[in-house]
Amino acid sequence: MWVAPAVTVLFWVSVATLAIGLARRSVLWRAGRAVPFTWFDLLTVPKRYFVDLHHVVARDPYIAKTHIATAGGAIAALSLVALNYGLGIYARVLDWGILLAAAVMLAGTYFVWARRREPPQRLSRGAWNRLPYSLAAFAIGLAILVMAAPQALSLAIAVLALLLLLVGSAELALGIGTGSPMKHAVAGLLHLAFHPRPERFSGVRSTALSPLALANREFGVAKPSDFLWTELLSFDACVECGKCEQSCPAFAAGQPLNPKKLIQDLVAGLSSSSDVAYAGRPYPGVAIGIHRGAPDQPIVPKLIEAETVWSCTTCRACVEECPMLIEHVDAVVGMRRSLNLMQGDIPGTAPETLSNLRETGTQGGYAKSARYNWAIDLNVPEAQPGKPVDLLLFAGEGAFDMRYQRTLRALVKSLKAARVDFAILGARECDTGDTARRLGDEATFQALAKQNIAMLASLDFKRIVTSDPHVLHSLRNEYTAFGDNYIVVHHTALLAELASQGKLKLGKAAETRTLTYHDPCYLGRYNGETEAPREILRRLGIEVREMQRSGLRGRCCGGGGGAPLTDIPGKQRIPDIRMNDAREVGADVIAVACPQCTAMLEGVANTRAEILDIAELVASSLEAQQ
C-alpha cells in the first residue's frame, strides 16, 4: 500500500521545509549583535520548558491543561511519526501510540477552539484564529491514517487523511519561515535554550540592567539590529496571548503603550515589514498600518513612536506575566538609551532632573547636605571613615520630601528602640542613579554609581538599610557590575528581622480601620520581597485585606521608570487605577513601603484611603507602649 511511504515522504518534506525556514529566519536573528553561546544549551530546553515555562503558564489552569494536551500530544505524535515513518519501520504497535497521542492533541485542540469562540480581548485574532483548525486537521488526519491498517483504507479516505495531514504539517513546517503563528513553537524552544538572561532558570530573580560599555561607544538600541541576536530570537517567541497587555499599567491608563504590540512591532522591524497584519489591540490612540521598519532602519519614529517608549513605568508586570519569558523592559530601556544618549530626545521635566543629577547629585538640584535635615533633632550619628558601624541608613532622594521624612523619622525611632548600631551618610550620599538609568541616561547613572561606590569604600559597615526599593535595587543588584557587593536590606525586612529576634517589642497597633497593602514593584517583582511587610503587619495584629492584584502580580503605582517626569498623557492616571483597587476591597488605609508609592497614591485627587508607611505603623505601636 502506498499510504505509509507517502507519510514518510510527507514527513521528510516537512522536515526539509522546516529546516529551510529556520535557516532563513536565523539569518534575521543573526542581524543582531553577537553574544557568546554554546550548542550544549539546547540540552537545557526540557527542564526550562516543563518547569520554568509551565510554572508561569500554570497560573491559568485552563490554558495550562490545554497547552499540556495540545503541545504534549503534538510532540509525542511527531516523535513517534519520526520513529515509525521517518525511519520506515511501519510497526503497528507504534501506530497505536501515534493514535493515542493524536487523540490527546485533538482533545487539547478542542479547548483551544472553545476559547477562540469567545476570546478575551487580550488575545490576537487574525491568523491565530485558524490555529485550532490546522491543529485539528493534523490530529484527525494522523488518526485516520493509523486507526486502521493502511491497506484497509479506501483511496478516497486515504487521500483525505493525507490532505488533512498536509494542511496540519504545513502550519508547523512553514510557520518559522513565513513568520506565521506556529513560528513560536520553534523560536520559543530556541529562546529557552539561548535566553538573554539564563540566570533566570537557576532560581535567581534576574532584574538588573546590564551596563553599557560607553568607552566602546555602546549607546543603546537605535535600530532592530542593535539588539542582541538572542533578544531578536525572543521577540519571535511571542504567542500574542496579551497577558503582558492585560497587566500593563500604562495600557490600562490609556497611554500609547501595549507591550504585546511593542514586541510585534520589533518583529516587524526584524523582518522588514509593517504592522498592518497585527490583529490585536493597538497602542491607545495610535492607528495600525502606518509604521514600517527594517533591521538597519531607526526604530523611532519609523516603527515605534517615542511616546510609546516613554510611557513604560519599568514595573516588569509584563515580564512577570509572560509565559514565554520575554524581557520587555530590557527592550524599552535599550531604546531609551539611544534616544537619550544619541538624540537627547526626552520629554517632560526629565531633562531638568537629569541636569540636576549631573550638577548636584540630587534630582531636585538641592545641596546634598540638606538630605538629612530631617534628622537634626534625632541625634543620629553620621558615618565616619575609620569608625565601624553595623548599619548604614541610605535615605535616597525622597529624604528631601517632607512626607517621606515622616517615614524616615519613624524608622529611626524603631532602630533606636531596638538598640541598633547605625549611622546616616550625611552630605556624602548621592542619588543612586536609578531614575537616570531608567530614563536611558547610562552615563549619568555610571558616574553616580562610581561616586557612591568610592564613598562607601571609605566607610566600615556590615549592612545597608533603606526605605526606598529603588535605592535597594541599585545598591544590591546593579552596582555589582562595577565590582562591589553590598548586603542591602529593605526597612521592612530589617524590622521583621528585629521583631523576630525579640529586639523590637511590637504591640498591637492602634489602627483598627480596614487595611490593604500595596506591593512596590521594585521591592516585589524586582527583589522578590513580599513577605516581610506582611509579617510586620501580622505582628502588629493587623489583618491585611488583599487587593486582587498583589504580591509579585501587584499593580504599579505609576511612579517608576521616570514616568512622573516624562508624564505621557493618557485617559486616566495610573495611581487612580490602583486606588480603585483599594476601594474594591473596602480599604480605609493603604500600607506602603516605598516613597514613590506614597507620593503617587497620595496624589490621587478624589476621596481616597489614607497612606501610611509600615515604618509609621511600627513607630505608632512603639509609642502606644510608652
pLDDT at 507: 85
**Model pTM score:** 0.95
**Residue 265 one-letter amino acid:** D
| Residue 90 Ramachandran class (φ > 0 left, ψ -120 to 50 alpha, else beta) | left
Compare 154 and 439 and report the one with higher pLDDT.
Answer: 439
Nearest CA among 426, 416, 408, 406 for reference residue 468: 408
**Residue 350 one-letter amino acid:** A
Domain ranges of the chain: 3-193, 210-272+288-343, 360-498, 515-625
Q: Can you read off the three cell numbers belonging to residue 553?
A: 502580580
Q: Can you read off the three cell numbers belonging to residue 18?
A: 522546516
Distance CA 380, CA 382 (A): 7
pLDDT at 264: 98
pLDDT at 150: 57
| Statement: residue 599 has pLDDT above 70 | yes
Query: Coil, helix or strand for 569?
Result: coil
| Statement: residue 156 has pLDDT above 90 | no
Average pLDDT over residues 529-551: 97
Distance CA 452, CA 145 (A): 70
Where are the alpha helices (H) located in 301-363, listed in sequence order? 306-310, 317-321, 328-338, 350-360
| Statement: residue 407 has pLDDT above 70 | yes
Query: How many Å separate Cα 338 from the centre of its chain?
Result: 21
How many Cα neighbours within 13 Å face the side chain of 45?
14
Contact 331, 265 (CB under 8 A): no
pLDDT band at 155 (very low <50, low <70, confident <90, very high): confident
- Same fold across 210-272+288-343 and 360-498: no
| Statement: residue 569 has pLDDT above 90 | yes
515-625: CATH number: 3.40.50
CA distances (Å), origin 152, targets 9, 11, 186, 285, 515: 20, 21, 36, 60, 71
Average pLDDT over residues 330-341: 98
If one counts every other C-beta atom within 10 angstroms of the C-beta of residue 190, the result is 22
Find cell 538573554 and name the residue: 196
pLDDT band at 460 (very low <50, low <70, confident <90, very high): very high
Contact 90, 2 (CB under 8 A): no
Compare 483 and 138 and report the one with higher pLDDT.
Answer: 138
End-to-end CA distance of the chain: 94
Average pLDDT over residues 232-249: 97
Query: Coil, helix or strand for 274?
Result: strand
Chain segment 25-54, per-residue pLDDT in tens: 999 999 999 999 999 999 999 999 999 998
Contacts of 438 (CB under 8 A, 6+ apart): 314, 333, 336, 560, 561, 562
pLDDT at 146: 84
CATH of 360-498, one of 2.60.120, 2.40.50, 1.10.3470, 3.40.50: 3.40.50
CA distances (Å), origin 163, targets 137, 169, 268: 9, 10, 32
pLDDT at 97: 95
| Statement: residue 431 has pLDDT above 80 | yes
Mean pLDDT computed over every residue of the chain: 95
If one counts every other C-beta atom within 10 angstroms of the C-beta of residue 415, the result is 23
Contact 374, 396 (CB under 8 A): no
- With a pLDDT cut of 70, the percent of the chain lying above it is 99
Chain segment 290-302, per-residue pLDDT in tens: 999 999 999 999 9
Average pLDDT over residues 377-394: 96
Nearest CA among 597, 455, 578 for reference residue 523: 597
Distance CA 132, CA 114 (A): 9
Query: Coil, helix or strand for 277?
Result: coil
| Statement: residue 585 has pLDDT above 90 | yes
Encode burial over 2-35: b for 16+ CB neighbours within 10 A, e otherwise.
Answer: ebbebbbebbeebeebbeebbeebeebbebbeee
| Statement: residue 58 has pLDDT above 60 | yes
Cα four-point dihedral sign 24, 29, 31, 36: negative
Q: Can you read off the three cell numbers belonging to residue 187?
A: 523560536
| Statement: residue 149 has pLDDT above 80 | no
Distance CA 479, CA 205 (A): 16
How many Cα neighbours within 13 Å face the side chain of 21?
23
| Statement: residue 625 has pLDDT above 80 | no
- The packing angle between helices 595-602 and 402-417, to 10°, is 140
Contacts of 204 (CB under 8 A, 6+ apart): none
Chain segment 247-284, per-residue pLDDT in tens: 999 999 999 999 999 999 999 999 999 999 999 999 99
Distance CA 101, CA 110 (A): 14
**Residue 423 one-letter amino acid:** A
Chain segment 225-236, per-residue pLDDT in tens: 999 999 999 999
Find cell 490546522 and name the residue: 134
| Nearest-5° Cα angle at 206, 448 to 251 | 85
Contacts of 529 (CB under 8 A, 6+ apart): 490, 492, 493, 523
pLDDT at 538: 96
Distance CA 487, CA 31 (A): 40
Q: Which residues pair with 489 in a beta bridge?
A: 465
Cα four-point dihedral sign 149, 151, 154, 160: positive
Contact 80, 101 (CB under 8 A): yes
Average pLDDT over residues 117-136: 95
Contact 527, 519 (CB under 8 A): no
Contacts of 129 (CB under 8 A, 6+ apart): 116
210-272+288-343: CATH number: 1.10.1060.10
Q: Can you read off the three cell numbers belonging to residue 608?
A: 481616597
Strand-by-strand arrangement of the 488-490 sheet: 422-424, 389-393, 461-466, 488-490
Query: Coil, helix or strand for 389?
Result: strand
pLDDT band at 626 (very low <50, low <70, confident <90, very high): low
Helix (H) / strand (E) element for 592: namely: strand 589-592
| Statement: residue 196 has pLDDT above 70 | yes
Average pLDDT over residues 92-120: 95
Residue 284 preceded by cis peptide, ω within 30: no
